[in-house]
Amino acid sequence: MKTITLIFIMLCISITMSNGATWKYKKWETEKVDKNMIKLTTQGEVAYGNQFGFIKTTDDCKTNNLWLTIWTFGKHIVDFKGKLATVQVKVDDVKFEIKLRILTVVNFSPHNSESHVAIFSNFIASDKFINLLKKGHKISFDIIAPTNLVKNFDIPHEAFDLDGFTTNYIKAMEVCKNSAILNIVPNIE
């Protein structure tokens, strides 16, 4: 658990220092964050700055660490750092709940002390979950509990288009094993 938390904290720090090696296809992109970490993400439909995807490490390519960021203006969101949130997930017509930990809360805006990004993770997606995404068209997340956490999100809902997920997932697996593959342009017909 400490290792996963450390990995994600390092990722949060390195997010703005990406080496620029990015492969994009449709609404998704695969990016080599550093020599050991690959991020595969898409942008939110409700708020473009929100992200959903997965983090892979080169020492364990099969593990799918879920990555979810949600912007908020909630004054007390920092009080929930390290806490679990109950999140309702919907992939097309399939609904289920998961527990996501708020790994950290970051203020990227020096001009607005109430503008934060809550970074959720420490959830390892199963093969069943990944296969559901590969077949799906849209995924949505609703933060539903605890109530005092939900109140800190001006918009506790986000949706993401899955168009391009499967191709980028395959690319992330390839990059995890050989980072030179990231530079190959997608074959779009």
Tell me what the mean pLDDT of segment 56-70 comes to. 94
62-90 exposure pattern, b = at least 16 Cβ within 10 A, e = fewer: eebbbbbbbbbebeebeebeeebbebbbe
Give pLDDT, residue 17. Answer: 41
pLDDT digits (tens, 9 = 90+) for 7-38: 444 444 344 344 557 889 899 999 988 888 99
Q: Give the global pTM.
A: 0.84
| Tally of residues, the chain | 189
The predicted model gives 96-114 an average pLDDT of: 85
| Mean pLDDT, rounded, for 48-69 | 94
Percent of the chain residues topping a pLDDT of 70: 81
Model pLDDT, residue 3: 45
pLDDT for position 185: 55
CATH of domain 2-179: 2.60.40.1880
Degrees to nearest 5, angle at CA 8 with 6 and 14:
105
* pLDDT tens readout for residues 74-98: 888 999 999 999 999 999 999 999 9
**Burial class of residue 50 in the structure, from the number of CB atoms within 10 Å of its CB (0-12 exposed, 13-18 middle, 19+ buried):** buried
Please write the tens of the pLDDT for every residue from 125-176.
999 999 999 999 999 999 999 999 999 998 999 999 999 999 999 999 998 8
Tally helices (H) and strands (E) across the chain.
4, 10
pLDDT, position 9: 44
